[in-house]
Amino acid sequence: MNWQLYLVLGTPLLGGALLALWGHKSWAASLNIAMSIATFIAAAALTAHIISEGPLITANEQFFVDSLNVFLVALTAFVSMTTSLFSRPYMRVEHAHGKLNDNRLRLFHSMYQLFVFTMLLVLLTNNLGILWVALEAATLTTVLLVSLYRTPASLEAAWKYFILCGVGIAQALFGTILLYSASEKVLGSGGGALLWTHLETVAGSLEPTVMSLAFVFLLVGYGTKVGLVPLHNWLPDAHAEGPTPVSAVLSGLLLNVALYALLRCKVLVDGALQAPFASHLMMGFGLLSVVVAAFFLSRQKDIKRMFAYSSVEHMGLITFAFGMGGPVANFAGLLHMTVHSLTKSAIFFAVGHAAQKAGTQIMDDIRGLMKISPTVGWGLMLGSVAILGLPPFGVFASEFLILTSAMRQQPWATPFLLIALGVAFAAVFSKVQPMVFGETNARRLPHPPALIPVFAHLAIVLALGFYIPPYLVDWYHEAAKLIG
């Protein structure tokens, strides 16, 4: 019996139910925050438990926690907590501007909690079938959030999101079926043959042909959700048209969670094939995403769309790192997952407030944020500098590690990565600079912005750039070993 695990999953589920009833009340945003804080406390307790006691398999082997997923559980719970803090003033302003009515506010609060629940279920389940079901459910909970404003553009974005991710994830289901057909021969039919802990022990004896084909389907399926080029089409639209708290959790959390699903499958395929088939595919898709997204950055006019492309770029970089494999690259990949998630959500918080102040998301019309609100301006500036990989922020450390291991393991890829990072730097910096400095056109808002989450995230990213505490290093090493 492990109470921490049940609390981690039960709190957001309960929150979703409560907010479905009372999500339109004036105290609903506070309840949303309270539930998210409770989830985070439970996740912290679970993390402490795993660190002291080691991996955990519970509830008839249906749940499995090791150092790889507990780290993502903690990150997910943390970012969803800070996002709930940010969303309170943000949604109040949207409500005051008449963009939302009570019903849609209720929908937002309830679906937000359920979305967090499905992501935590993806991370904690031991059953690859349930993992698929939960990831599909995560899509379903966010579709109506993307179309929350009911503008033509947001409806289009949500429709695209639903159809593309639905089709993509159907491919992943086919991959899961193939994987099951391979494992059933070794483990026998029944529930055991989809449990990851069982699969891992017999990975070496799974049929290689079937497994390699299964991985292709899984990569296409889960890769659509990760936002890998050329499957990324839904991502910029969904980020730009949905409410900003949703953009923050999509970029900061959902992409990570989808990548986690892919990583779990990669471990099995590597074990079955004893050849770097999965690695090569992941490196290819990763590198393509980095390069294509970097060149798209400079062509964007909408600020949220630009940072969505930046997410594609960074997810590509992480996929590439895991594709290279080995202790250093995996370590760098995990670190980059952490810092990207924190930095990108901080940027979206700042962008959300900036867009509300300027009354637009078009970058040419946002000017001189520093004049009207230095904190929002600095938040956006520092966040952009951090995400572009400038020292001393943590993103620099992880990108540096990825680049040095690329030079050692895959030297051919280094020039592409360096050019892409340079292009991305030029594009983002030249667009953010005039938005922050210069003359202003921004207005005052009826509710003060929540800037604690922005600076809390950036402070952690900055701290990680200077010094990674030894227990965190051990933890990453532990998790990196699991990925192989």
- Contact residues: other proteins, CB under 8 A: 127, 129-130, 132-134, 136-137, 140, 143-144, 147, 150-153, 155-160, 162-163, 166-167, 170, 173-174, 176-178, 180-181, 184-185, 189-191, 193-194, 207, 209-210, 213, 237, 240-241, 296, 299, 301
| Closer residue to other proteins (CB): 78 or 162 | 162
Q: In sequence order, what E strands does 33-72 have? A: 56-58, 63-65
Least distance (Å) between residue 439 CB and other proteins: 27
| Closer residue to other proteins (CB): 21 or 163 | 163
| Closer residue to other proteins (CB): 72 or 193 | 193
Whole-number Å distance between alpha carbons of 340 and 321: 14
Q: Which two tokens stand for residue 333?
A: 């990949």
Least distance (Å) between residue 296 CB and other proteins: 7
CB 81 within 8 Å of CB 40: yes
Least distance (Å) between residue 231 CB and other proteins: 14
Helix (H, G, I), strand (E, B) or coil at 364: helix
Whole-number Å distance between alpha carbons of 141 and 355: 25
CB 383 within 8 Å of CB 432: no
> Which residue shows structure tokens 């898709």?
285
Least distance (Å) between residue 107 CB and other proteins: 10
| Closer residue to other proteins (CB): 90 or 180 | 180
| Closer residue to other proteins (CB): 153 or 418 | 153
Radius of gyration in angstroms for the set of CA atoms belonging to the chain, rounded to a whole number: 21
Helices assigned H by DSSP within 274-393: 277-297, 303-324, 327-358, 369-372, 374-387
Whole-number Å distance between alpha carbons of 405 and 399: 10
| Closer residue to other proteins (CB): 240 or 346 | 240
Least distance (Å) between residue 155 CB and other proteins: 6
Alpha-carbon 288 to chain mean position: 19
Least distance (Å) between residue 33 CB and other proteins: 26
Least distance (Å) between residue 129 CB and other proteins: 3
| Closer residue to other proteins (CB): 174 or 416 | 174
Least distance (Å) between residue 20 CB and other proteins: 14
Cis? peptide before 230, omega within 30° of 0: yes
> Which residue shows structure tokens 């990680």?
464
| Closer residue to other proteins (CB): 41 or 173 | 173
Cα 198 to Cα 64, 128, 211: the distances in Å are 11, 11, 16
Helix (H, G, I), strand (E, B) or coil at 469: coil
Whole-number Å distance between alpha carbons of 146 and 448: 24
